[in-house]
Amino acid sequence: MSSIVAIVGRPNVGKSTFFNRLIQRREAIVDSVSGVTRDRHYGKTDWNGRNFSVIDTGGYVLGSDDVFEAEIDKQVELAIGEADAIIFMVDVETGVTPMDEDVAQLLRKVNKPVFLAVNKVDNSKRLENAVEFYALGLGEYFPIASTNGSGTGELLDALVEALPEDTREEEAELPRFAVVGRPNAGKSSFINALIGEDRYIVTDIAGTTRDSIDTKYNRFGFEFNLVDTAGIRRKSKVKEDLEFYSVMRSVRAIEHCDVCLIVMDATRGFDGQVQNIFWLAQRNRKGIVILVNKWDLFEKETNTMKEYEARIRQEMEPFTDVPIVFMSVLNKQRIFKAIETAVEVYNNRSKKIKTSELNEVLLPIIESYPPPAYKGKYVKIKFCMQLPTPQPQFAFFCNLPQYVKDPYKRFLENKLREKFDFTGVPVSVYFRKK
């Protein structure tokens, strides 16, 4: 269960540069969600063996200067509510500004670790100037230069030291299904429809965020936790950064679930924000089911559903093997189909295939369609196996792993899907030297 670290501060102090430095630190880092608008603001990284998610609140400020202040206050409040630790970034070139003082005032009341990072300190003169940031009343500060990385090591050492331990008990872990989606897509109604009439709910466990609730759900022989991100009502004054709010909440829910039920509004389509959430789930290697709600409101002709589905799949490329359920929560149409599908996806995600069976099925296919030769060299794949990870990952052992290109990896992934049914689950294919 990784912690969330938020980087806050006014615009142009270097938050994004620092953020980009963090998430590109190692090859193994899940890169920030691509193919999405605003894609640089959420990433995963690790330091000293601790994984954590980083959220850069920077790029979400919209509007003119006078709008800035209110916006930043809102983002800082949100970061305070959601993150486990906060990096407050200021700029030594401009010194302490009134806006910095506002943010500091909010942060002084917080019961969470706050790290004051004074950026752009790249010479000794500036190191002396940094002293004035003691005036913000946040105690020690960390002089850093996010362009060349000096000082960031000390900051990150202190940061991971302060992050809460990963404490989630490994009880007989029930599958966790997160219901995510943009506001007003029908998440709450979906959950109410599911648990409304039945009396099987055992407990309500307070979840990771203040009001994302885990509901134990037991019906038709399925037992799992439903993680509801819908309990979060947006504050009436928050219009502009709605996206930021729902993305931040979804990040939490997605990271800690097995299957994401992405509820979208049929009348709005598979728009930017839904895609955002989809890519987030895909990059986190979660099972995914798309629920197209309010289908009853949609004008229909003979092929409407087929065409609608084809449009969604086109937006999802290359990961199109995802179940799409058309439903109407209002009319209680196909809501249980949604849950059955989620259970199937969960089973697909935890599927383990015997090595002997895997080789028996795939080696003949590989022999008929070997990887294309590269610079006159032939890649020979001898053996494959499934790795012992929570989600499907496969290693293929060969003589020249560096010459296997993405199209061939996709070809093998598609064959795996076709032969073993991994619908709704991201599959990873790796090549290793034998």
237 by Cβ neighbours in 10 Å (0-12 / 13-18 / 19+) ranks as exposed
Residue 303, both tokens: 């092929």
Task: For residue 279, say whether it is annotated as part of any ligand binding site.
Answer: no
Task: For residue 51, say whether it is annotated as part of any ligand binding site.
Answer: no
Task: For residue 85, say whether it is annotated as part of any ligand binding site.
Answer: no
E strands, 154-303, in order: 176-180, 204-206, 213-219, 222-228, 259-265, 287-293
Interatomic CA distance for residues 194 and 217, integer angstroms: 9
Interatomic CA distance for residues 335 and 327, integer angstroms: 6
Indicate the length of the chain as a whole number.
434
Task: For residue 12, say whether it is annotated as part of any ligand binding site.
Answer: yes
The secondary structure element, H or E, covering residue 393 is: strand 393-398
Task: For residue 237, say whether it is annotated as part of any ligand binding site.
Answer: no
Task: For residue 184, say whether it is annotated as part of any ligand binding site.
Answer: yes
Task: For residue 232, say whether it is annotated as part of any ligand binding site.
Answer: yes
Task: For residue 186, say whether it is annotated as part of any ligand binding site.
Answer: yes
Task: For residue 258, say whether it is annotated as part of any ligand binding site.
Answer: no
Interatomic CA distance for residues 296 and 45, integer angstroms: 42
Task: For residue 175, say whether it is annotated as part of any ligand binding site.
Answer: no
CA dihedral 316, 320, 322, 328 (to 10 degrees): 50
Task: For residue 121, say whether it is annotated as part of any ligand binding site.
Answer: yes
Task: For residue 58, say whether it is annotated as part of any ligand binding site.
Answer: yes
Interatomic CA distance for residues 365 and 396, integer angstroms: 13
Task: For residue 56, say whether it is annotated as part of any ligand binding site.
Answer: yes
Task: For residue 228, say whether it is annotated as part of any ligand binding site.
Answer: yes
Task: For residue 207, say whether it is annotated as part of any ligand binding site.
Answer: no
Task: For residue 185, say whether it is annotated as part of any ligand binding site.
Answer: yes
Task: For residue 277, say whether it is annotated as part of any ligand binding site.
Answer: no
Q: Which single residue is written with the structure tokens 């959430």?
A: 277
Task: For residue 119, say whether it is annotated as part of any ligand binding site.
Answer: yes
CB-based contacts of 168, cutoff 8 Å, min separation 6? 1, 256
* CB neighbour burial string for 337-348, b if at least 16 within 10 angstroms, e if fewer: ebbebbbbbbeb
Interatomic CA distance for residues 32 and 404, integer angstroms: 24
Task: For residue 45, say whether it is annotated as part of any ligand binding site.
Answer: no
Task: For residue 63, say whether it is annotated as part of any ligand binding site.
Answer: no
Task: For residue 182, say whether it is annotated as part of any ligand binding site.
Answer: yes
Per the CB < 8 A criterion, the answer to whether 174 and 350 are in contact is no
CB-based contacts of 237, cutoff 8 Å, min separation 6? 74
Task: For residue 399, say whether it is annotated as part of any ligand binding site.
Answer: no
Task: For residue 81, say whether it is annotated as part of any ligand binding site.
Answer: no
Task: For residue 47, say whether it is annotated as part of any ligand binding site.
Answer: no
Task: For residue 293, say whether it is annotated as part of any ligand binding site.
Answer: yes
Per the CB < 8 A criterion, the answer to whether 293 and 328 are in contact is yes
Binding-site sequence positions for GTP: 9-16, 56-60, 119-122, 181-188, 228-232, 293-296
Binding-site sequence positions: 9-16, 56-60, 119-122, 181-188, 228-232, 293-296
